[in-house]
């Protein structure tokens, strides 16, 4: 575990130095600031737009950071062959993967926290108070990022950089649409097809579970039970992805 923490610390420092991470963070902060452009709207509409743009921006840019940084963190070790040096030391492969995951989780958490502070500051500036439910939305965005990091590491453990990038980004989009696909399957008359769709519905990560922005921005409250269930879902999915990652990494020739 100590070795995993050392790897995590190193991964964290490396990711912070990544140009793409810094650029994405700057873009995200610019986007948050640009939500001020809606000042021509009524105050209620303006606040709704600021919350929508900011929460969507935080989710999108965090996902982008998580995918790019996690992929680079693992793939760069393979491409520069530093992995051989590392694994020649008394370091377990599981510690290496756990360290990479923890490091990326830290980097992404930092990104989400920075963007959240700016967002909450913006809301405080505009309405002099903020709803607790905004934190629920931010919390689930963070939980979603843990799943994305684990999936990216799992794919990067066996696939090329380009494939990892395309696959995970595609999965991010599909993961937001599985609910629609599943609800459409209710209209189908073929039971075999329904079973197949149900199977894929359970296999593909359902990122829509984490999307509570639309409810939060219109003043909806989110029960704590929902947050716990969704967080539990995220943790289980993260565990699955890490097991897959470990499996492929364990037997990888380095």
Partner 1 sequence: MTKITYRNSSIAAIVLLFLLLSPLQNKIDLQRKQMGFEQRLLLMPGQITGSLILGGFKGLAADLLWLQVEELFHSGQSYKMLPILRSVTFLQPKFVTPWAVGGWHLSYNISVMVKDHPEQEKAWIQAGVDFLKEGISYNPERYDLYFELGWTFFNKVKNYAEAVKYLELACKFPRPDYIDDALAHAYEKNGQIDRAIETWKKIINSGNSFSPTAVRMLHNLKTYGSTIVPEKK
Q: How far is the CB of 129 from partner 1 (least distance, A)?
A: 15
Nearer to partner 1 (CB atom), residue 125 or residue 170: 170
Q: Hey, what are 199's tokens?
A: 């199977």
Q: How far is the CB of 66 from partner 1 (least distance, A)?
A: 15
Q: Interface with partner 1 by CB under 8 A: which residues?
A: 41, 44-45, 48-49, 52-53, 55-56, 59-60, 172-173, 175-177, 179-180, 183, 201-203, 206-209, 211-215, 217-220, 222-223, 225-226, 229-230, 232-233, 236-237, 239-240, 243-244, 246-247, 250-251
- The single residue listed with the structure tokens 């530093």 is 82
> Which distant-in-sequence residues (6+ apart) come within 8 Å of 184 by Cβ?
none
Contact 123, 50 (CB under 8 A): yes
- ∠ CA 233-134-231, nearest 5°, is 10
Q: How far is the CB of 236 from partner 1 (least distance, A)?
A: 5
Can you tell me whether residue 130 is helix, strand or coil? Answer: coil
Q: How far is the CB of 8 from partner 1 (least distance, A)?
A: 23
Q: Hey, what are 13's tokens?
A: 């420092």
For 1, counting Cβ atoms within 10 Å of its Cβ (0-12 exposed, 13-18 middle, 19+ buried), the class is exposed
Nearer to partner 1 (CB atom), residue 104 or residue 211: 211
Nearer to partner 1 (CB atom), residue 18 or residue 244: 244
């Amino acid at each position: 575990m100590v070795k995993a923490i050392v790897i995590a610390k190193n991964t964290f420092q490396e990711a912070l130095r990544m140009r793409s991470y810094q650029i994405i963070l700057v873009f995200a902060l610019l986007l948050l600031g640009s939500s001020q452009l809606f000042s021509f709207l009524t105050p209620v509409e303006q606040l709704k737009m600021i919350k929508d743009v900011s929460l969507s921006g935080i989710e999108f840019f965090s996902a982008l950071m998580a995918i790019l940084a996690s992929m680079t963190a693992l793939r760069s070790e393979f491409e520069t062959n530093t992995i051989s040096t590392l694994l020649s030391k008394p370091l377990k492969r599981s510690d290496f993967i756990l360290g990479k995951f923890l490091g990326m989780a830290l980097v992404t958490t930092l990104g989400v926290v920075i963007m959240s502070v700016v967002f909450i500051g913006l809301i405080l500036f505009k309405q002099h108070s903020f709803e607790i439910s905004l934190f629920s939305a931010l919390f689930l965005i963070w939980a979603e990022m843990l799943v994305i990091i684990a999936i990216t590491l799992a794919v990067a453990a066996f696939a090329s950089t380009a494939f990892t990038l395309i696959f995970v980004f595609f999965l991010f989009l599909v993961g937001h649409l599985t609910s629609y696909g599943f609800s459409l399957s209710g209209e189908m008359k073929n039971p075999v097809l329904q079973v197949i769709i149900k199977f894929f519905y359970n296999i593909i990560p359902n990122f829509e579970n984490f999307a509570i922005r639309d409810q939060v921005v219109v003043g909806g409250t989110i029960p704590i039970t929902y947050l716990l269930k969704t967080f539990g879902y995220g943790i289980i999915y993260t565990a699955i992805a890490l097991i897959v990652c470990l499996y492929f990494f364990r037997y990888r020739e380095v």
